[in-house]
Structure 1
């Protein structure tokens, strides 16, 4: 059919531009992570994964696994439908109460994914607050971008982490209209933190609400592991927090925490929430277990930060360019989509190291990169092996060095 031929042409164009996505068939094993088994056409092969968001390896933690297994045996798998139809499990209520306590907010609400949390919440806020203007960082996650778009609200895009530009846009906006500043604490593709204190100061000066995505900071930063806002001492000044369990907490799903009026509006008016089957209770039980672990024990979060520091030092010594040295996420700049895929393929084929290449449109053209993420289960020796392998591949690919 002619209509389907357009799709084929789009795919061919994506391949030519180096934007076609491929996925490895991995068998992850709790006992040996970050090692995994790659199932390929030439048979299974042991590799080591360097691009997982399971920063604290909590998906493998015996306490979390036991919590999930106990819940499965106790209540089964699914919840039987949406919370508005089949009721709310006690696991959901307990986790929402824990999140509200952690963020010092009146209420919290769970979603099946972090993407849904951002999209749904921002959509509701834009549609239910008359005249709302949303100020959004230009490098915000796709879920925030979609939420702002779906909200129908006016939007103002400020340059990444540019507080001067944010201030200028706020000054140019009618002082009487409601405003909301949406941003992230840690931009996972850049590996950099937002100037969170300055943004909050400016937002308060202009009477704007703040909406902070902490999804890549949860579990890693702050005394209780709530994220970077806590570490910077501004947790109590954020209006709405968004986070999730699929990164530092080792599971899946998303959440928001904020004023009761916000939470109640979302659970009342958001069709994606009202009509979606709730997350399986055992998954929620695992998230609750992981959250309590990081909240009351800081030892786990020190490990990926230590490994990331060693990794950045090793790459700097070899002149391999890193986009940012801020955080536990280490984005290595390649700058070309095809060479980015080449470096990833050489690491996998020659060294048994898996790092997924990140190309446009996920990142801007010309900034294609490897997003490297040490976890609590990587060792100092693993870091040395990785640095030596990338150094060899970098030379083989003829890529420039930064020194």
Structure 2
């Protein structure tokens, strides 16, 4: 009998060899206690968190927590149903109203996760005979949305406006086309040239969907994302995002001004056939979103943190994924798997948690430590972080 798990044998062997060296499993960290948006206890040690997507530090906001507790008391722990059945409570509508106000759009639709938002929107909008044109480095949820639908998939080189135009020019003029872009790319923290890309998409009659999962909260005058900062809001048809990053809870959404948008509630399978978010979750999300409308000081502090950490790591001699600070994500590039794991372990032992990333999450041959800053990181914490990187880097031999 064929072992259906045999295709994973190489990965199993690689993981066993890694753990046999005595290092901790980078993908099985347990937070014993989380004490703030920026600190936790891991194996009994105070640890600075530099590997979460808690960009705006909303997870411990008193108003957000109070809203969740109130909804839990008044509506119970869950809906036990889909949004199109018994799963739409007043809180879900209030959350969608908050999104419409935040983005200034006519329509908003809340999904149970950000992954499902991409899965549902992309697979439903573009069908058989249509084309989806996407960046080669797109998130897994975007690729899975493409594969769930029946559209033709066309990839273009990462962040290449020229290659995007070349691909679009080859497609039938009368075919339906959806260009899918991301504001911030989550591995290197680089941003898309949305102004140029959206102009090219519109030139060839394509609709545009922008994923602002990592841009919402601190890009643009109102914190709406890179598309707002690029000045292309009027030409973007759909904006997809998540509550699990700057909003500080869990869930996903899409906002749009398309006049037929609401029909998606009847035809989008990952929306129709999934239980809706618990009342406490949508209550925390709505409260957080409304507070993010007035978070200019948080955004300024986050950008200060990002620029300081980026420059500090460069000054220490580390190679980074971008030449300057483009977002709240900073990628420390390392030469191989062994060095990356040793550096990750050394940082953890010093009291700093970062994300370790390797293929297939990254391009082939690319290994890195991903740092995700938070608006609640203090100046002193950023100083501690730089000191830990210096100490670990020297111990491992990454820097002189």
Report TM bin, short chain.
over 0.9
**Contact 2:211/2:240 (8 A) holds in 1:** yes
**Contact 2:302/2:373 (8 A) holds in 1:** yes
**Contact 1:337/1:360 (8 A) holds in 2:** no
Could you say which residue in structure 2 is the equivalent of 1:359?
A: 358
1:72 to 1:299, Cα distance in 2 relative to 1, 3 A: same
Determine the C-alpha separation between the residues in 1 that align with 2:4 and 2:236. Answer: 47
Could you say which residue in structure 1 is the equivalent of 2:301?
A: 303
Could you say which residue in structure 2 is the equivalent of 1:248?
A: 246
**Contact 2:181/2:209 (8 A) holds in 1:** yes
**Contact 1:120/1:266 (8 A) holds in 2:** no
Could you say which residue in structure 2 is the equivalent of 1:111?
A: 111
Determine the C-alpha separation between the residues in 2 that align with 1:342 and 1:269. Answer: 48
TM-aligned CA deviation for residue 78 of structure 1: 0.6
Can you give the 5+ residue segments of structure 1 that lack an aligned partner in the other structure? none
Could you say which residue in structure 2 is the equivalent of 1:375?
A: 374
Q: Deviations over 1:94-144 (max 9, x none)?
A: 1112222333332111111100100111111122xx521111001110000
2:165 to 167, 177, 180: 167
2:40 to 36, 51, 67: 36
Could you say which residue in structure 1 is the equivalent of 2:95?
A: 95
Larger mean CA deviation between 94-103 and 9-18 belongs to 9-18
TM-aligned CA deviation for residue 3 of structure 1: 2.3
Could you say which residue in structure 2 is the equivalent of 1:183?
A: 181
Could you say which residue in structure 2 is the equivalent of 1:83?
A: 83
1:217 to 212, 215, 218: 215
Q: Secondary structure at the match of 1:94?
A: helix
Q: Deviations over 1:178-216 (max 9, x none)?
A: 111101001011111100000111111111100100011
1:281 to 1:330, Cα distance in 2 relative to 1, 3 A: same
Could you say which residue in structure 2 is the equivalent of 1:22?
A: 27
Could you say which residue in structure 1 is the equivalent of 2:237?
A: 239
Determine the C-alpha separation between the residues in 2 that align with 1:133 and 1:17. Answer: 43
TM-aligned CA deviation for residue 399 of structure 1: 2.5
**Contact 1:133/1:177 (8 A) holds in 2:** yes
Could you say which residue in structure 2 is the equivalent of 1:287?
A: 285
TM-aligned CA deviation for residue 321 of structure 1: 0.9
1:194 to 1:28, Cα distance in 2 relative to 1, 3 A: farther
Could you say which residue in structure 2 is the equivalent of 1:46?
A: 46
Determine the C-alpha separation between the residues in 1 that align with 2:7 and 2:203. Answer: 49
**Contact 1:320/1:391 (8 A) holds in 2:** no
1:162 to 1:281, Cα distance in 2 relative to 1, 3 A: same
**Contact 1:109/1:263 (8 A) holds in 2:** no
Residues 380-391 of structure 1: matches in 2 within 5 Å?
A: 380-391=379-390
Determine the C-alpha separation between the residues in 1 that align with 2:33 and 2:219. Answer: 26
Larger mean CA deviation between 15-24 and 279-288 belongs to 15-24
**Contact 1:300/1:376 (8 A) holds in 2:** yes
**Contact 2:237/2:258 (8 A) holds in 1:** no
TM-aligned CA deviation for residue 22 of structure 1: 2.4
Could you say which residue in structure 2 is the equivalent of 1:201?
A: 199
**Contact 1:53/1:248 (8 A) holds in 2:** yes
1:87 to 1:311, Cα distance in 2 relative to 1, 3 A: closer
TM-aligned CA deviation for residue 68 of structure 1: 0.8
Task: State the number of aligned residues.
Answer: 393
TM-score under structure 2 length normalisation: 0.93
